[in-house]
Chains A and B, each alone.
Chain A
Amino acid sequence: SQQGEEDPQALSIQEGENATMNCSYKTSINNLQWYRQNSGRGLVHLILIRSNEREKHSGRLRVTLDTSKKSSSLLITASRAADTASYFCATAYSGGYNKLIFGAGTRLAVHP
């Protein structure tokens, strides 16, 4: 079965620095979505990138998708302490009627 995998598992940076998280998957997808989860809270949708798209921006977020390598990256620029959270990629794979397959997540800590 398909499984998304993020790396690194944990990332610790200073405020103002950029944070890059990567995600890999195994099968053909319809889209890939990134979510954020603050400690003890629900999942907040950040961005969706379709399989025919290569890059997408939303505010300080930049997502890339390389379907030939079956990988995606999430870049957070000029990070803030409030960005501290766990970040998950989730893939909606072809034939899966939009059910999402999640990776284990990257725990990001941004220090003031």
Chain B
Amino acid sequence: EAGVTQFPSHSVIEKGQTVTLRCDPISGHDNLYWYRRVMGKEIKFLLHFVKESKQDESGMPNNRFLAERTGGTYSTLKVQPAELEDSGVYFCASSRLADLQETQYFGPGTRLLVL
């Protein structure tokens, strides 16, 4: 079974540009989560999809971030326009059911650097 995959692995952009990150969860996993780790800080929750619906987006920092999961399969996270403080590692995770005891499996992350 393939794990969670993320694309790209690295992205370097200039302030003001747009970047779109993609996450492909494990096949059959209804739950998809985005997290990020800004330099020197903890890994923080951004949002959670159940299939194509946003269950919880309380961690989204501001309206420059837009996440979608059309069709309930892969998800994209767009940052527009990117700011310097958006630099960090963006992780995606998925889990199978809406079971509160489900393990979340993480992807390798996308390293974003905004110059």
Contact = CB atoms under 8 A, between A and B. Distances in A.
Interface of A: 3, 30-31, 33, 35, 41-45, 48, 50, 88, 90, 92, 97-105
A97 B33 CA distance: 11
Most buried by B among A97, A98, A103: A98
Contact of A42 (B31, B45, B107): B107
Contacts of A3: 42
A98 B102 contact: yes
A97 B48 contact: yes
Contacts of B18: none
A30 B42 contact: no
A98 B95 contact: yes
Interface of B: 31, 33, 35, 42-45, 48, 55-56, 59, 91, 93, 95, 98-109
A45 B108 contact: no
Given A31-B101, A42-B91, A99 B107 contact: no
Most buried by B among A43, A100, A103, A104: A43
B101 A102 contact: no
7 contacts: A31-B101, A41-B108, A43-B43, A45-B103, A99-B33, A99-B45, A102-B43
A98 B33 CA distance: 10
Given A97-B55, A98-B31, A45 B105 contact: yes
Contacts of B103: 33, 45, 48
Nearest to A33: B103
A90 B43 CA distance: 9
A41 B100 CA distance: 26
Nearest to B40: A104
A101 B91 contact: no
Contacts of A97: 48, 55-56, 98, 100
A42 B108 contact: yes
Nearest to B3: A42
Given A88-B43, A98-B31, 14 more contacts: A30-B101, A43-B43, A43-B91, A43-B93, A43-B109, A44-B106, A45-B104, A48-B101, A98-B99, A98-B100, A98-B102, A100-B104, A102-B42, A102-B44
